[in-house]
């Protein structure tokens, strides 16, 4: 009996000893876990000073810090420092759909290139020839000109047609254009960053084709101005942020100078273009843009076709837009070059002419503007030639001829041999 009792007590002592060891080990394990959790967000901080007084939050002066991963708690979970680093790496500036940020060049400038009318309708010579040439844009636009377009920070032109397979040509309209939605990729090939839709052909195939155009450009990632699903969209500028500066681009059309145009103007509940036959709304939108922006670009469809003479609406309206706050006015629609002017120091390119629009042989151009935070650093008229369904830069005598012609019709501007434009002293 005593032997059994002795054996029982010995067994009990062994169990108690083992229990104490286990409890001590568990306590150490928990302390290590707290040390790893508490130390994760301050791994670079001093744990204690020379006197041995506790300077950490784990209650063990001089204790080795063990991470949660090392002891198997929440394996793979990043520390708070790692979370902060990841957040800072992925944190990006959030912009609204109408605003884009541009990176400046080494000298703190950005470059805009403007061109005139283009046409992608395969029923007309220009795009039919493009297809015949293997759909290679280099076979239709010279490589040196493409380089100018593609190297610009922003390249803008007039998209004078809808993208759609739907709709019917508007009745009683002499010329109606329509391109396949797939051909929007040619804009990327050209280096185009933004298009104007405020013209007299965007609505050629009616409402459905017009809406398809907006969808197509949006899906292709090409911003547009001067048109929308309602008036609010149609008058909406596109904004570019450059450092601490903000640039606005607006577009409107006054062509089809009638109260019942083929190309419908947008209303509160109707899609259409931004019409400015009456100037007040465009003036208002320019003023609003100028209040929040450092530089305002107005790209406008105006003038009379096939003449280098300005019409009365161009002469009357340009000063209104300058007074409202436009910093440069870019015009198109006449399908030929017109003069460059200045109004109170603001350049007005009255017409860029056709760019890549038809098979005719015509003088053309791009206009290159370099901006800094102080405004326009340079403005350059770059002569081109549209011919045989192609467009190319001009050089030598032909380049000099076009510059001389432009100087002859531009009384308020000086255009030097390299095409750089400045106001005359009389302006």
Kindly give the confidence (pLDDT) of every residue in the chain, 427 residues in length, as a single tens digit, with 9 standing for 90 and above.
433 434 444 444 444 555 554 444 444 444 444 444 443 333 333 333 333 333 333 333 333 333 333 333 233 334 445 454 544 444 678 899 999 999 888 888 999 999 999 999 999 999 999 999 999 999 999 999 999 999 999 999 999 999 999 999 999 999 999 999 999 999 999 999 999 999 999 999 999 999 999 999 999 999 999 999 999 999 999 999 999 999 999 999 999 998 899 999 999 999 999 999 999 999 999 999 999 999 999 999 999 999 999 999 999 999 999 999 999 999 999 999 999 999 999 999 999 999 999 999 999 999 999 999 999 999 999 999 999 999 999 999 999 999 999 999 999 999 999 999 999 976 6
By three-state DSSP, how is residue 31 classified?
A: helix
CATH of domain 103-423: 3.60.21.10
The Cα 369–Cα 298 span in angstroms is 14
Residue 321: count of CB within 10 angstroms of its CB? 23
Report the Cα 210 to chain-centroid distance in Å: 22
- The dihedral region occupied by 372, where left means phi > 0, alpha psi between -120 and 50, and beta the remainder, is beta
Q: Can you give the pLDDT at residue 105?
A: 83
Where are the chain's structural domains?
103-423
- Which pair of structure tokens corresponds to residue 47? 């744990």
Per DSSP, 337 falls in state B
Residue with tokens 């185009």: 192
Q: For 132-162, b where at least 16 C-beta lie within 10 A, e where not — what string? A: eeeeebeebbbeebbebbeebbbbbbbbbbb
Per-residue pLDDT, 355? 98
What are φ and ψ of residue 198, in 5° steps? -80, 85
The C-alpha angle with vertex 153 and arms to 317 and 394, in degrees rounded to 5, equals 75
- pTM, to two decimals: 0.79
Strand pairing class (110-118; 154-159): parallel
By the 10 Å C-beta count (0-12 exposed, 13-18 middle, 19+ buried), 3 is classed as exposed
Type and span of the H or E element at 304 = none
What pLDDT does residue 123 have?
97
* DSSP-derived secondary structure letter, 335: S
Looking at residue 91, what is its pLDDT? 63
Q: Output the CA–CA distances (angstroms, integers) from residue 192 to 201, 251, 257, 285, in the order listed.
A: 19, 16, 29, 25
Q: Give burial (CB, 10 Å; 0-12/13-18/19+) of 219.
A: exposed
């Amino acid at each position: 009996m005593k032997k059994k009792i002795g054996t029982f007590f010995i067994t009990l002592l062994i169990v108690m000893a083992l229990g104490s060891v286990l409890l001590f080990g568990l306590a150490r394990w928990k302390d290590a876990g707290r040390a790893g959790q508490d130390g994760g967000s301050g791994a670079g901080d001093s744990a204690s000073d020379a006197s041995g007084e506790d300077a950490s939050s784990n209650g063990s002066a001089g204790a080795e810090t063990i991470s949660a991963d090392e002891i198997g708690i929440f394996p793979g979970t990043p520390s708070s420092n790692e979370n902060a680093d990841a957040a800072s790496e992925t944190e990006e500036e959030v912009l609204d759909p109408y605003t884009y940020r541009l990176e400046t060049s080494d000298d703190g400038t950005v470059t805009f290139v403007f061109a005139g009318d283009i046409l992608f309708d395969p029923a007309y010579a220009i795009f039919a020839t493009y297809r015949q040439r293997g759909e290679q844009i280099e076979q239709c636009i010279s490589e040196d000109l493409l380089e100018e377009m593609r190297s610009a920070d922003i390249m803008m032109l007039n998209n004078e047609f809808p993208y759609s397979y739907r709709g019917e040509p508007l009745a009683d309209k002499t010329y109606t254009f329509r391109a396949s939605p797939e051909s929007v990729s040619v804009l990327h090939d050209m280096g185009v960053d933004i298009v104007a839709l405020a013209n007299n052909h965007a609505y050629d195939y009616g409402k459905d084709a017009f809406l398809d155009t907006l969808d197509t450009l949006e899906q292709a990632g090409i911003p547009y101005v001067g048109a929308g699903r309602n008036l609010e969209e149609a008058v909406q500028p596109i904004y570019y942020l450059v450092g601490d500066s903000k640039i606005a681009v607006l577009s409107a059309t006054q062509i089809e100078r009638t109260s019942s145009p083929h190309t419908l103007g947008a209303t509160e509940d109707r899609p259409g273009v931004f019409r400015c036959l009456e100037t007040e709304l465009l003036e208002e939108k320019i003023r609003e843009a100028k209040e929040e922006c450092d530089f305002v670009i107005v790209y406008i469809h105006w003038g009379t076709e096939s003449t280098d003479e300005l019409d009365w609406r161009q002469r009357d309206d340009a000063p209104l837009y300058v007074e409202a706050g436009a910093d440069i006015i870019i015009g198109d629609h006449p399908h030929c070059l017109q003069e460059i002017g200045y109004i109170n120091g603001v350049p007005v390119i009255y017409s860029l002419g056709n760019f890549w629009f038809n098979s005719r042989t015509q003088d053309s151009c791009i206009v290159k503007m370099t901006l800094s935070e102080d405004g326009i650093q340079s403005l350059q008229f770059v002569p081109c030639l549209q011919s045989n369904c192609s467009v190319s830069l001009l050089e030598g005598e032909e380049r000099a001829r076009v510059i001389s012609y432009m100087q002859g019709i531009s009384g308020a501007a000086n255009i030097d041999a390299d095409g750089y434009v400045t106001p005359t002293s009389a302006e």
